[in-house]
Amino acid sequence: MQSNTSRATLSAQSSGTPSASTISSSGKQQVVELSGYVIILVENVDGKIKLYGSPPDRDNLEVGDEILEVNGLTLDNISRTEIIRHIHDCIKSCTICLRVRKKNDSRL
């Protein structure tokens, strides 16, 4: 069974502008230049963290996608405050690697 989960990586380029690459389940890689990014985290009634923001939307991330992991840290049983702190630390390091569940896919 093929998963709809994708992995997005943001990293600094020589210009200092982050870029994003997504490796889909087909193994195809896509690079998106970002002039800046916004990640808004919202915890729903089930305690799941959802992703809202742009320009990650240009990298096939959509409003309502669930963030499962950030730079190898699984987000289960972690407070919203700890998640935000971890994402800020990742941004400072210029590398953000997300594992997400697409909003329209209940499978991992």
Q: What is the DSSP letter of 19?
A: E
Domain range for 46: 6-101
**Residue 87 placed within a domain:** yes
**Residues whose CB is less than 8 angstroms from the CB of residue 72 and which lie 6 or more positions away in sequence, other chains included:** 97
**Residue 86 placed within a domain:** yes
Residues 40-69: tens digit of each pLDDT: 556 667 766 555 554 444 456 666 777 788
**Residue 85 placed within a domain:** yes
Asked if 71 contacts 99 with a C-beta cutoff of 8 angstroms, the reply is no
pTM of the predicted model as reported, rounded to 2 decimal places = 0.46
Tell me the two tokens of residue 106: 């209940």
**Residues whose CB is less than 8 angstroms from the CB of residue 57 and which lie 6 or more positions away in sequence, other chains included:** 63
Helix (H) or strand (E) holding 89: helix 80-92
**Residue 55 placed within a domain:** yes
Q: What is the DSSP letter of 58?
A: G
Residues 24-41: tens digit of each pLDDT: 334 343 344 444 555 555
Q: What CATH number does residue 93 fall under?
A: 2.30.42.10
Mean pLDDT, residues 13-32 taken together: 39
CA nearest to 70, candidates 52, 96, 45, 51 = 96
The domain total for the chain is: 1
Asked if 39 contacts 87 with a C-beta cutoff of 8 angstroms, the reply is yes
Distance CA 84, CA 73 (A): 12
**Residue 107 placed within a domain:** no
pLDDT of residue 88: 78
